[in-house]
Structures are given as C-alpha cells and as structure tokens.
Structure 1
Amino acid sequence: MEYFIVVAAAVALAFIVHVNLDAGVARRVLPVLLAAFAARLAVHVLVMRSGVFDYGGDNMGYESRALGIVEYWKREGFQFVTAEDMSYLASVAVPCQVFAIVVYLCDGPAPLACTAVVALLACALCVVVYKFARLIGADDRAAFMLLVVSAFMPAFLLHTSDTYKDGFNAFLVVTSIGLGAAIARRFDMRRLLTLALLLWALWYVRPYMVFMCAVPLILGLAGLGKAFSMRRVFAFAVLLAFALLTFGGVYDGAPTGVIQEQLELGQSEVIRRANGDGGSGVDFEDGGNPWNAIGPKLLYTLLSPFPWTQGGPVLQFGKIDVLIWYFLLYNAVRGARRLWRQDRVTLLILLSFVIPGTIAYATTMANMGLIFRQRIPIIMVTSVLAAVAWTKEARDGEQPAGDVVSPGFDRTGGASNAQAGPSTVTRVDG
C-alpha cells in the first residue's frame, strides 16, 4: 500500500499540472516537477533515513503523533483531532492528521508514503509560484526559470524530503499571499472561500503565520488602487473571524492572545538560549532585549550562514542554498524597482508580508539552523519578484498574464488576464 500511495501521489502531481496549466506549459513543467518529486524520495531514502548525518528530529515526532492519532481514531472514531483531544498535537494538527491518514491506509508506519505526500505538496507549490510570478507581470520564460529554481532550492528540497511541516507551511503561506494579490485585481468569492480554508489549515500548522499573512490579505481584499469596497473588507473579516474563532482551538484563549503568546515565547531569553545551544547557535549582545541589536539580527536572519562560516556538513549544504538566495535577493530588488513603476499595489502586498515577517523572525533569531527553515516562505515570496527582473524589458508594458493557482484556482498558463548543523557558536556584538 505504501508504494501505491507513492504512485498515486505522482499521478496526482500530473493531474495538478495539467489541470492548472495550459498544455504547452504543462509539457515543459511536468518533467521538471516529476524529477523534483523523485529527488525528494531519493533524498529521503539515501540521506534522511540512511544515517548519513544527524539532522532534524521533529519529523520523527510528527510520525509518532500520527500513530497516536490513528489509535485515537480506533477508539473514538474518525474525526479531526486537535490539541483539545491530544495535548501534544499543539500547532501541528494538520500535518499530523495527513500523516495519520497515510498510516491508517498503510496499517502501520509508512515514512516513504508520508514523504510522497509532502513532496506532492512541494511540487504543487512550485506551480503556485509559477502562477504567482505570471500574475505580477513575469513572462513565461522567467516564471518557468523561477519554478525550476524553487523546485530544487536546497533548503526547500531538504525539508520536503521527510515528514517535516515546513512544506505544509510554505504551501499555505505562499498560496494565501498569492490569493491576496489575485483578489486585489479581481474579487471572486470562490477565491475568498479558498483563502478561508487555507487560513484555517495554516492555523493548525503555524498559527502565527496567519497573522503574518493578515496585512497583505487585507490590502488585497480592500482593493487598493480601485474604488474602496466595504463588501470586500466585510467578507474578509467575516470569513477570517469564522475560520479563527470556530476552528482556532489549538490553544486556549482568543486568537489575538495566541500570537502574542507565541511571539513572547519566541522572544524570551530562555527560549533564545535554548535555541542557541548546539552547533548553529548565535549569541547576540542585546542585554536580553529581543529588539536590541536588531541590525545584526536582521543580517543573520536574511543572509546566514555566511560563506566564510565554519561548521559541519549540513552548514556547508546550507551555504549552497544561501548563495542561490543571494542571487534571488539581488534580482528581487531589481524586480521590486520595476514593479514599483508598474504595479505599486501588488508590490505593497508582497512587502507587507516580507518586511514585517523578517523583522519578527529577527527578534527571535538565535540559531542559523532554525532560520534556514523558517525563512523558506519569505524566500519564496521574495523570489517571485526576481522573476519580474528576469522578464525581458520589451514586455514591461504588457498586461500581467495568469492567475495564481492551486486546487480550486483559475486554470491559466499562457497569456491571459491572470538546521543547518555547523559546529561552532557565533557571538555577535550589537
């Protein structure tokens, strides 16, 4: 059954590509994504589960929780299980539930099948990234280049080659931001309903990311640059409140209290010191105040591990990723300058996620290995701007082509109206 699920995931990937992209685009995209899918399974077998290096741990924890959910289902019946039912689920109910379904179908642990599901989600995100780039004005060539780069970005590849929740988080965040940009162009109730579903799922993956997405989504729904529409704002407010208040029972207390609690916990000196223990820790001289030394913290949040940093094999692997990120960041700045001339509303939507998100992560910065993973959604959203820079200047005046897609989005593809494991601890004076 485990191998059947792997094959089914590959077939589902082909279906997603052909449904969401035009035939000509799909013919070029599908081989790339099938290769990316296979690469993730290979890394899972040959690296992650072979003992080549000691990395992770939370992936095993999610599998263990999935086994616990299956036992709960056998006793209580099939249902969505939250932290109210099993306290150790905390904020990872959706990934663990998905893994539990796979475990249930396989009648026991099935890490390869679970990884196939994560790999499918990662490849679907690459389709979303392609459509996102097309939406904001990138041409087909540039958007395809971005899809290829995204599919094989080392950090993204590594953390979607096992049962981590980073793939779930990146897919939900990037797709939500893309929907916000799409709604800013054309309000559609179907998109809004899809957005509410995505935010609900995101609440059970990383609750604080819902709030990090809130500002760009509100800007998109407010329809900046167009006549102000209370209908947009009211619809968004009602659906968001319904999603958070009805399904937000990950923790006790109001949703606004959850984000404050999580931020304070992440910024606490105890947690930062705990995260700083081990090979990839970074100790800032900030006097215990998370907002002090913000400059060096931002530098490490965005650009570490640096090429000259000494460390173990995983840190060296991280350097490959960060060099690609430097290239993307440089081109994203160029793309932002071009988008400033063409579509300031969309640029504002993107920056309203990237800038506050980076600052929030900087206040909790204590470990390059954690940042290696946490900044994946920020890298994904920022890199969409790089595709704008790669678009030929002659096409600057053209209308944006394509709409962001994921299951349930419009189908377009051509021109249309759419831990790191270093072995050293670094001290940084603030």
Structure 2
Amino acid sequence: MEISIVVLIVGMLVLAVRAGLDATAAKRVLPVLVVAFMARLAAHLSLRGGALIDYGGDNVVYDLWAQEIADQWRRDGISYVTVSGAGRLYGAALHCNLLALIRYICDGPAPLASAALMALMACVLCVVMYRFARMLGADERAAFRLLVVVAFMPAFLLHTSDTYKDGVNALLVMATLAVGVSLTRRFGLGRLLLLAPLLWALWNVRPYMAFMCVLPLALGVSGLKHVVSLRSLVVLTALAMVVLFQFEFVMKSEPVEAMRNQLEYAQSPAAQNSNAGLSGWRHGSGVAFDDGGLPWGALGPKLVYTLLSPFPWTPGSLALQLGKIDTCVWYALICFGVAGARRLWLRDRRMLLILLLFLVPGALVYATTMANIGLIARQRMPLVMVTSLLCALAWTRTPPEEQASPAPGDGRRPEPERAAQPAALS
C-alpha cells in the first residue's frame, strides 16, 4: 500500500506542475522537479539507513504524534485533531494530521510515503517560487534558475526528505505572500478569500508565522494606488504594535494569546537550554549569549548568528560541517538578493516593502529565540525563500526600456514585458 501512495503522490506532482504553469514552462520544469522528488526519497532512505549518525530531531516527535492521532482515529473515527484536543501538538496540528492520514491509510508506519508527501510539498513550493518570481518581474530564464536553486539547496532538500514541518511551513508562507502581492496587481475577491484557508493552515503548522504575514498582507490587501514611503511605513508599523500590545482586549484574544504563549515558550530559558543541547544538526552547536536573560538582549550578535551561521570556522558534527555548503549558497543568495532588492526599489517599491515587512520582523523574532546553529539554519528557510525571490530579479536581463525615468510620484519604472508575464496567482 505504501508504494501505491508514493505512485499516487508522483501523479499529484505531475498534475500540480501542469496546473500551475503554462505548457511550455511545465515541459521544462517537470523533469527537474521529478529529479528533485526522487533525490529527496533517496536522501530519506540513505539517512534512515544511518548515513548520518546524528541526524534526527523534530521529525521523530512528529512521527510519534502522528501515530497517536492514527490510533485515536481507529478508536473513535477520523476527525481533525486540534492543538487543544491533542494537548501537546504546539501548533503542528495540521502537519501531524497529514502524517497520521498516511499512517491510517497504510495501517501502520509508512516512512517512505510520509517522505514522499513532504517531497511533494517541496516541489509545489518550487512552482510557487517560479510564479512568484515571474509576478515580481523576473524573466523566464531567471525564474527557472531560481526554481533549480531552490529545489536542490542542500538544507532544504535534507529537511524535506523526512517528516520535518519546515517545508510545509515555507510553502504556506510563500503562497500567502504571493497572494498578498497578487492583490497589489489586481484586487479580486477570489484571491482575498484564498487567504483564509492559507492563514488557517499556517496557523495550524506554525502559529507565529501567520502573524509574521499579517503586515505584508495588510499592505497588499489595502490596494493602495500610491507607494507608501518608508517613513510612513515605520510609523504605521509602530502604531500597529502599540495597538497590539497595549489594548487588553487584543492581548486576551485567543489567537494573540496562542501566539504569545508559543513565542514566550521559544524565548524561555528552559527552551533555550533544551534547544542548545538537542541532537542532530544541533548536536554540539548550541550558542549562549550574554543577554542578561532577556530575549531582546544582545540582539546584534543574535541577528548575526541567526542570518549567517554556521560560520566557516565553526566546529561541530559531520552534519554541521555539511551544512556549511548550504551556508555558502546562502551567502551568495544574500549578495544577489541585495542587487535584486535595489532593482525592485527603483521599479516597484511597494512590492519590495511587502517582502521587507516579512523579512525584517521575521529575522528579529527568530533572533530572540536563537540558541542553536543547526536549529536556526532550518528555521530560517522562509527568510531564505523570500531573499531568493529577489535573486531572480538580479538574474533577470534588464531590457533597455527599464532604464527610463520612473513616473513621478509612484516610484515605478515602466515594465514593457508585463503583458508577456503569466497572470498573478489566484
């Protein structure tokens, strides 16, 4: 039965590529994603076979929780098990329910089928990245290069070859942001309604990431006709934070309470000490900061470790040393991302601000939970994905017409190729 599920998932991959891309792009992209899919299954079999002795972590926990849900379904019937119902899923409810469904159908553990489901999510994310890059103004060649880079980034490949939830989280984040950007191009009720299931799913995978997407979405949904200045944006963001943290009725609402509890747990000394001593990539890569016990203390060093570690000189396990390959790729992406951000700033500032409204708060929040190099290298995947979108703009061959002066007041440059680009995500 497990092999049948894997074959079915491969069929779903083919359908997703053909439905998400036009015929010409799908013909070019599909072989790449099939190879990426098979590479993840090969990595799964290799790692489960002991290729890296210190590999493993949250994936084992999610497997156990999925087994508990599947057992409950056999006793009481199939129903969605919520965080409160499970008692200790900590926001991974949707992820564990998906894994439990695989176990329930296969009537027992099905590690290869579970890995295939995660590999499918990773490949669908690559399709979203391709379309997102085209929507921002990248040409087909640059968008395809982005897809290939993302599909085979070592850390992303590794952590989407097993039951980690980071690939699912990255997919939901990028799909949500893509819909937000799409709304700035053309406001539509259908796209707006699509945000509800996306945010619900994101809330049930990693709740605080749903809040990280609120500010970018607010700018996109507002349908502003004129670009917001950076100064105005900072003021509005500060006011929003004051409203959020000063008004008691907001703070005591169930969603905000859940987000606060999760964030406070991640920032607590107990969680910090625990994360610093876990196994896998994290083994021997714990980091302690002189922050006086405050999450926002020593923020500068924490940001450096959050965004740039593991450093070339960092000692650690074999898995950590292999992770430096991914870090070198990440350094290159940062350089290209800066060039792409400059190009997007000159042409369409509102689009850049939407991305920055996710990147900057996201980096700050991750920094307050920084305690382990291996763990943070996995958690920052959404930041890597958003930055890589900007790389596609740097790789795009600039048409001569783009050198024209921007229209006064809107911060954009003419986009003569827009008519040739695919429609916005819907």
Residue in 2 aligned with 1:302?
307
Answering whether residue 132 of structure 2 is matched by residue 132 of structure 1, we say yes
Counterpart position of 1:398: 415
One-letter amino acid of the structure 1 residue matched with residue 377 of structure 2:
F
Answering whether residue 52 of structure 2 is matched by residue 35 of structure 1, we say: no
SS at match of 1:275: helix
Q: Does 1:266 align with 2:266?
A: yes
The within-5 A match list for 1:220-259 is 220-225=220-225, 254-259=254-259
Q: Distance in 2 between matches of 1:183 and 1:53?
A: 47
User: Aligned residue pairs: how many?
Assistant: 384
In structure 1, give the amino acid aligned to 2:13: L
Please show how residues 160-179 of structure 1 align to structure 2 within 5 Å. 160-179=160-179
**Structure 1 residue 48: deviation in Å?**
3.5
Q: Which amino acid in the other structure matches residue 254 of structure 1?
A: E
Deviation at 1:108, TM superposition (A): 0.9
In structure 2, distance between residues paired with 1:415 and 1:343:
16
Which deviates more, 391-400 or 265-274? 391-400
For residue 348 of structure 1, what is the amino acid of its counterpart? L
User: 2:319: which partner in 1?
Assistant: 314
CA deviation digits over 1:272-331, x for unaligned, max 9?
Answer: 222223411111112222222211111110000011212221111110111001111101
Root-mean-square deviation (Å): 1.8
Indicate the residue corresponding to 2:11 in structure 1. Answer: 11
- 1:213 is aligned to 213
Structure-1 separation of matches of 2:108 and 2:418 = 46
Aligned to 1:388: 393
Residue 154 (structure 1) aligns with:
154
Q: Note the 1:2-81 alignment, pairs <5 A.
A: 2-50=2-50, 52-81=52-81
Q: Residue type matched to 1:316 in 2? A: Q
The equivalent of 1:415 in structure 2 is 421
Q: Distance in 1 between matches of 2:72 and 2:80?
A: 10
For 2:290 and 2:59, the matched residues in 1 are separated by: 32
1:87-106 paired onto structure 2 within 5 Å: 87-106=87-106
Structure possessing the higher relative contact order (Cα contacts under 8 Å, 6 or more residues apart): 1
Amino acid in structure 1 at the alignment position of 2:327 = V
Kindly provide the CA deviation profile for residues 146-176 of structure 1, in whole angstroms up to 9, marking residues without a partner as x: 0000001111111100011111111101110
1:9–1:120 Cα contact (<8 Å) kept: yes
Partners of 1:400 and 1:165 in 2: CA distance: 37
One-letter code of the match for 2:102? V
Q: 1:269: how far off?
A: 2.4
Give the match for residue 144 of structure 2: 144
Per-residue CA deviation, residues 184-225 of structure 1 (Å, 9 max, x unaligned), is 111122222221101101111111111011100111101233
Q: Match for residue 344 of structure 2? A: 339
CA change 1:182–1:399 in 2 (3 A) is farther
Query: Which aligned segments of 4 or more residues in structure 1 are displaced greater than 6 angstroms?
Result: none
Query: Hey, what's the Cα distance between the residues in 1 that align with 2:102 and 2:353?
Result: 40
1:161-200, aligned counterparts within 5 Å? 161-200=161-200
- Alpha-carbon distance change, 399 to 270 in structure 1, aligned in 2, over 3 angstroms: farther
**Hey, what's the Cα distance between the residues in 2 that align with 1:122 and 1:417?**
22
Stretches of structure 1 that go unaligned for 5 or more consecutive residues are 229-251, 403-413, 419-430
Task: State the 1:385 CA deviation.
Answer: 0.4
Matching of residue 110 in structure 1 with residue 110 in structure 2? yes
Letter in 1 for 2:390: L
Shifted more, 42-51 versus 214-223: the winner is 42-51
How far apart in 2 are the matches of 1:166 and 1:288?
28
Which secondary structure does the structure 2 equivalent of 1:67 belong to?
helix
Report the CA distance shift for 1:400/1:131 in structure 2 as closer, same or farther (over 3 A). Answer: farther
